Chain A
C-alpha cells in the first residue's frame, strides 16, 4: 500500500486552542494514487440526474496565492516567546501587519523581498539582537499545512463573532432555546471545515446544536439519589455520568467524566504543580473565589489524553462546579424528551440553509472579520455550491419467488410484503413464553396475535410453554435454567419495565452459558390494542431472523463474494473495554450472516482480533459454498476522525496478511470501504424553487468528494423530520477492479438488507449488524458470545 503522509503537518506548530494537533480531516492520507483503475475517473454513471445544492461554499483566493512559511532565529538566543514576538513585530514595516507567529515559525500572506532577511532589534535593556527570517516553505493553497491554517483562521473569525467554543465547534450563547420541561438548553452553533475538494477549496459549514443542561453534576446526583435510593445510587451515578462531557464554572475547558472517586471529597487535598498540598475547598476559594457548599460530594475523575500545561494524568473535578453537556443514554431513550428536542434540532432543509445563511451574513457584515479575511487574501463565495448527482434505480425486493417495488419516497416495503411468505421460515415448534403474573393478559394477547400473523409468513408455530414468574431477575434465570431443553427454538420474555439489569442478565445467560435465541418484549409495547398486530408482525419477523430464518433479498450480480461489516463500540462504564463487532455474509443472497466479536481492554490493538474473525469467517464461507470467496468487500464503520491513517497503514495490511495465511494459491480481490455516518455534508434537492431532502438512492461522487480519495456519498434512507444525512464511503483499498458505479450500486443494495427494518437504512446491512452485535456485547454481555450462535442474527 503506497501511502504518503505529508510531512508538512509535522512542521505545523501554529495551533488551535489547547494545543491540539490532531488532524481531524485526515489530510495527507492519499489512498487513491495506489488504485490505478480510478486514476482517471471515480464517478459512476447509472441513474437519473438530479440537481442538488449543498452546504459547501467556494473559497476564492488570489491567483497562485500561497502561504509563506519562515523560520525565525534570534542571535543571541531569546527564551521568552513574548519577547521574541515583541522584537520581531518591531519590524512590521518589513514583515507587514498580517502575520501568524508562534515564536519560531512565521506565516505571512506575502513573500518577503529576499529569501533570508536580517533584522536588528534592541531589547529594553539595551541588548542588540539579530533576527534572521528565513523562507522555509512556499505553501500552495492545497497543501495540508495551508488548509489547516485556513481552518485556524476561520475559527478565529468565529471567535471574533463572539461565538463560544465548546469542544470542536462554536455556539451562539446569546440566543438559547430552553426546554424547561427537561432542564435542557440548546445552543445553535456551527461546524466548519475548509478542505480541498474535487476542484475547489471549499468551506463546509453546517448548523450544529449543543445540548446543555441547566444543572450541575451535583444537582443530577441529588435527583438520582431521590429516584433510586441509597442502595443503587453509586451504580446509577456511574452509569448515568461516566462518559459525559462537562463544562466547568471557572475555565473554558471541557472534560470527560471517566470515574467517580467516592472516597474523596472537596476537603481532600491534591498536589499542586509547585509541589505543595492544598484542599479543593481552599484551592477554589483562593483561585476563583468560589465557595464549595457541599463538602460531602464525591470527586469526578477525568483522564487527560494529552498533556495540558503542567497537568498530566488525571484531573479531579468537583461535581458542584461542573455543568453537564449532551444527552445520556437514558435521555436518548426518553421519547418525550427527544420529541421536544427534535422540534428545535431537526431543521428541515430550507430552515437549515436559512440558519446557515445567517452565519454567512454575520461574516459578511462584520468589519473586523472582513478585514482579517482580506489580510490573508481570503474570501468566500456566499452562495452555496450547486451541482448534479444521480438517483440510482430502486431495487426490487425478492421474497419467495415474488418481486416487489417500494415507494421511493418512503424507502419502506412493510406494506408491500405484508402477508407474503418469507424466504426461509423457521418453525417455532418448541418455545418458551415467560411473563410475570401482572402481564398474564398481555402474554395471551401477544400469543393470539402471533397466531394470527405467522401463518401468512409461512412460520409454523406451536403453542408455547407459558411460564409465569416473579418479577425478579433470579426468577427469570431459574426458569431459563430449568425449562430450556436442547429442542427449544427460542425464548420470549415479557418484561414489565425497561430495567436494564434484568435484560442484561437474561441476554448474558442466553448468549453465553446457554446459547439459545431470545426475544425480550416490554409489556408496555404490547398494551395498545390498535398497534398490537403491527408489533406482533415485527416480533415474529425478528424472532424468525434470530432463529436463522431469512426474510427477503435483493439481486446481487457479483458471484463468489463475501461481504464483511465491522463496527466498534466503546464501553465507557465496565472496565473501559472496546468491542468490535464483525459480521460476514455466508451466501449469495446476503440473507445469512456469520458473526463474531472482539472484546478487548484499553490499550490493546483491535486488528489482531479482527484477523482471527476474518479467518473463521472464510472457513465458514467455504463450508457453506464449498470454495473460498474470490472477492471480499469489507465495510468498515466506526473509524473516528483522524484515524484513517492508522486504518490504512495497520488494519488493511493485517487483512492482506490474513488472506495470505489461508494458502499460497489463494489471492482474492479485496475492497476495503470506510463508512462514515457523521459527516458535515448535506445535500438538498432543488424542487420547484424550494429545497427538499434528496430521494433515497442519491449518489454524489463529484465536486464535494476529495481528489485524493476514491470516495462517494450515498443518501439511502429517508427521514420524517429534518435533513437527511448522507453516508460517506471511502474506498481505501481496492484490487477488485470493479467500476465505481458497481461499487456504488453494491453499497446501495446492501442498505436494503437489514432485517430489523423493512426499508432502506443509512449504512450497508453488515455495518448495522456489526453495530448491533457490538452494542449488545458492550452493553449487556461484556464477553464474546457463544460461537454456537454465530450463524444467526441473535443480536437483533
Chain B
C-alpha cells in the first residue's frame, strides 16, 4: 500500500533508481511490450503508478482500486486532464476511473481488462482476503495478463532495519519458494502461465537470495471471449466510484470538429496569405491580375467551378478569396485529421463560410492584415 514508505528501510543497500521506481518501470516496460488498451491497478494507493501509465499512448481505459479512499483522493487530481489536453486533444481516447473497494469483492466494473497490476498488494491482505483474491482477479476479472509483485523475505537479512516485515502493515512476506508455489497453484487453477522475475538485484556473491522484490507475470492461456465470462458472473456493483475523468479526444466528434475547423481556417489563411503576397509582387494595383490566372475574375462562378475540378488553385473574385477544399485537404495535417474528403466536408458544413457550391472556403480580402 505505502510503496514509497518502504524505501526508508532499504537505505543501506541502495537501489538506483529506487526500488519503487524500478517496479513502476517494470510495469511500464510490460505495457510497452504488450500494448494493453485497458489497464487496472489494484491497490493503487496515491495513484502514482496510474499517473505514469496515463502517458502510455496505447492505454484507453485506466482504473484504480484501493481499500482506502483518502489515500486515493490525496493526489487523484493529478489524473485529471490538463488544460493542454483540451487545447490539443489527443488521437486516443482515455478514461480514468478510481474505485473504492476491496480485491476480495467482485464488481463488474473490473471486467474486460487486458492488464491487471497488483504491485506490493498481496502482502497487505488478511488471510481471508488472500483466499478470495485469486478467484476475484483470475477467475472473475480474468484479464489477459496479471502482474503481481511482493517482497522476497529471503532478502530481508540484507536490509538491516527490517525486524519482522518490511512494513508494519504487511501480514506476511514470502520466500521465493512460497510465492512461486502459490503463484503456480493459482496459475494452474485458472489456466494461466506464469513466469518469475523481479527487481532489486542482490549484492554480488549473494545471488541465491534472489531479487528484493519478486514478480510473477501471469498470462492467460486460452483467449476467452468476453461475453462467456460475464454471463456466469454476478454483476452487482459493490465498489464506489470516487473519481472519473474522460480525456478530450479526437475520437469525440465535438473535439474533432473543433480541431478540423480550426485547422481548415488556419490552412486557408496560409494559402490566402501566399496568394496575396504573390499578387503584391505584381504591384499594389488590385485590378492587375497575376498572369497565371487569366481573366478568371470575370466569370467567377462558372470558371471557378471548372477550375476546382481541374486543379486546386485559389482565386479571387470581387472582395473574396476562394480556397478550394481540395487544396486544403492536401495539407497533411488536415488530411490526417479527416481521413476522407467527404468527412472534411461533413465536419465543416455550416461552420465555415463556403462558396455557393460548397467547394471552396471563402475569405474576405479586407481581413488581410498589413504585414509589418
B87 part of interface (Cβ distance < 8 Å): yes
**How far is A248 from B84 in the complex, measured between Cα atoms in Å?**
7
Contact residues, B80-101 vs A (CB, 8 A)? 81-84, 86-88
B88→A323 contact, CB < 8 A? yes
B55 part of interface (Cβ distance < 8 Å): yes
A159→B77 contact, CB < 8 A? yes
A444 part of interface (Cβ distance < 8 Å): no
Of the listed stretches A176-184, A395-403, A474-482, A665-673, name the one at the interface; the rest are far from the partner chain. A176-184
Q: Which residues of A contact B70 (CB under 8 A)?
A: 89
A80→B88 contact, CB < 8 A? no
**How far is A173 from B247 in the complex, measured between Cα atoms in Å?**
11
Would you list 10 pairs from A and B whose C-beta atoms are within 8 A, ordered by A residue? A82-B71, A180-B262, A180-B263, A216-B88, A249-B84, A251-B82, A252-B82, A289-B56, A323-B84, A497-B372
B5→A80 contact, CB < 8 A? yes
Select from chain B the residue with minimum beta-carbon distance to A174.
B86
Contact residues, A618-666 vs B (CB, 8 A)? none
Bitwise, B345-372 to A at CB < 8 A (1) or not (0) is 0000000100000000000000101111
Select from chain A the residue with minimum beta-carbon distance to B363.
A181
Contact residues, A205-222 vs B (CB, 8 A)? 212-214, 216
B371→A178 contact, CB < 8 A? no
Select from chain B the residue with minimum beta-carbon distance to A17.
B77
B269 part of interface (Cβ distance < 8 Å): yes
B265→A181 contact, CB < 8 A? yes
Known: A214-B88, A289-B55, A336-B367. A125 touches B261 (CB 8 A): no
CB distance from B34 to the nearest CB of A (A): 15
CB distance from B267 to the nearest CB of A (A): 10
CB distance from B11 to the nearest CB of A (A): 14
Contact residues, B316-372 vs A (CB, 8 A)? 352, 367, 369-372
- 10 additional A-B residue pairs with CB within 8 Å, beyond A164-B86, A180-B352, A183-B266: A80-B5, A164-B82, A180-B261, A180-B265, A180-B266, A227-B371, A252-B83, A287-B55, A499-B372, A524-B370
Select from chain B the residue with minimum beta-carbon distance to A80.
B5
CB distance from B49 to the nearest CB of A (A): 14
CB distance from B362 to the nearest CB of A (A): 13
Bitwise, B255-277 to A at CB < 8 A (1) or not (0) is 00010011111100100000000
B23 part of interface (Cβ distance < 8 Å): no
B168→A124 contact, CB < 8 A? yes
B262→A289 contact, CB < 8 A? no
B57 part of interface (Cβ distance < 8 Å): yes
CB < 8 Å A-B pair total: 81
B269→A181 contact, CB < 8 A? yes
A230 part of interface (Cβ distance < 8 Å): no
A580 part of interface (Cβ distance < 8 Å): no
B261→A178 contact, CB < 8 A? yes
Q: Which residues of B contact A247 (CB under 8 A)?
A: 82-84, 87
B86→A173 contact, CB < 8 A? yes
A173→B55 contact, CB < 8 A? no
B83→A173 contact, CB < 8 A? yes
Select from chain A the residue with minimum beta-carbon distance to B46.
A82
List B residues at the A interface (Cβ < 8 Å): 5, 55-57, 70-71, 74, 77, 81-84, 86-88, 167-169, 248, 258, 261-266, 269, 352, 367, 369-372
Known: A126-B168, A336-B367. A212 touches B83 (CB 8 A): yes
Known: A89-B70, A214-B88, A249-B82. A180 touches B264 (CB 8 A): yes
**How far is A336 from B86 in the complex, measured between Cα atoms in Å?**
25
Select from chain A the residue with minimum beta-carbon distance to B71.
A82
Known: A159-B77, A289-B56. A166 touches B83 (CB 8 A): yes
Which DSSP category, helix, strand, loop or mixed, fits chain B's interface?
helix
A329 part of interface (Cβ distance < 8 Å): no
A214→B370 contact, CB < 8 A? no
CB distance from B13 to the nearest CB of A (A): 17
Q: Which residues of A contact B5 (CB under 8 A)?
A: 80
A290 part of interface (Cβ distance < 8 Å): yes
A312 part of interface (Cβ distance < 8 Å): no
**How far is A504 from B83 in the complex, measured between Cα atoms in Å?**
38
Contact residue range for chain A? 35 or more
B262→A336 contact, CB < 8 A? no
Q: Which residues of A contact B86 (CB under 8 A)?
A: 164, 173-174, 176
B262→A164 contact, CB < 8 A? no
Q: Which residues of B contact A89 (CB under 8 A)?
A: 70
A39 part of interface (Cβ distance < 8 Å): no
**How far is A336 from B364 in the complex, measured between Cα atoms in Å?**
12
A336→B83 contact, CB < 8 A? no
Q: Which residues of B contact A4 (CB under 8 A)?
A: none
Bitwise, A221-241 to B at CB < 8 A (1) or not (0) is 000000100000000000000
Q: Which residues of B contact A227 (CB under 8 A)?
A: 371
| The 3 nearest A-B residue pairs measured at CB | A125-B168, A124-B168, A180-B265
A159, A180, A214, A288 interface centre (most CB from chain B within 10 Å): A180
B168 partner, pick from A123, A174, A178, A216, beta carbons under 8 A? A123
A214→B262 contact, CB < 8 A? yes
CB distance from A427 to the nearest CB of B (A): 35
Q: Which residues of B contact A123 (CB under 8 A)?
A: 168
**How far is A213 from B87 in the complex, measured between Cα atoms in Å?**
8
CB distance from B221 to the nearest CB of A (A): 30
B169→A124 contact, CB < 8 A? yes
A367 part of interface (Cβ distance < 8 Å): no
CB distance from B37 to the nearest CB of A (A): 15
CB distance from A91 to the nearest CB of B (A): 14
Q: Which residues of B contact A159 (CB under 8 A)?
A: 77
A290→B55 contact, CB < 8 A? yes
Q: Which residues of B contact A166 (CB under 8 A)?
A: 83
**How far is A171 from B77 in the complex, measured between Cα atoms in Å?**
16
**How far is A181 from B353 in the complex, measured between Cα atoms in Å?**
12
Contact residues, A126-141 vs B (CB, 8 A)? 126
Q: Which residues of B contact A214 (CB under 8 A)?
A: 87-88, 262
Q: Which residues of A contact B371 (CB under 8 A)?
A: 227
Q: Which residues of B contact A174 (CB under 8 A)?
A: 86
A77 part of interface (Cβ distance < 8 Å): no
A534 part of interface (Cβ distance < 8 Å): no
CB distance from A503 to the nearest CB of B (A): 11
Q: Which residues of A contact B88 (CB under 8 A)?
A: 214, 216, 249, 323
**How far is A120 from B323 in the complex, measured between Cα atoms in Å?**
76
Q: Which residues of A contact B372 (CB under 8 A)?
A: 497-500
A334 part of interface (Cβ distance < 8 Å): yes
B169→A212 contact, CB < 8 A? no
Known: A126-B168, A498-B372. A183 touches B83 (CB 8 A): no
A288→B55 contact, CB < 8 A? yes
Select from chain A the residue with minimum beta-carbon distance to B28.
A289
Bitwise, A248-272 to B at CB < 8 A (1) or not (0) is 1111100000000000000000000
CB distance from A522 to the nearest CB of B (A): 10
Bitwise, A326-364 to B at CB < 8 A (1) or not (0) is 000000001010000000000000000000000000000
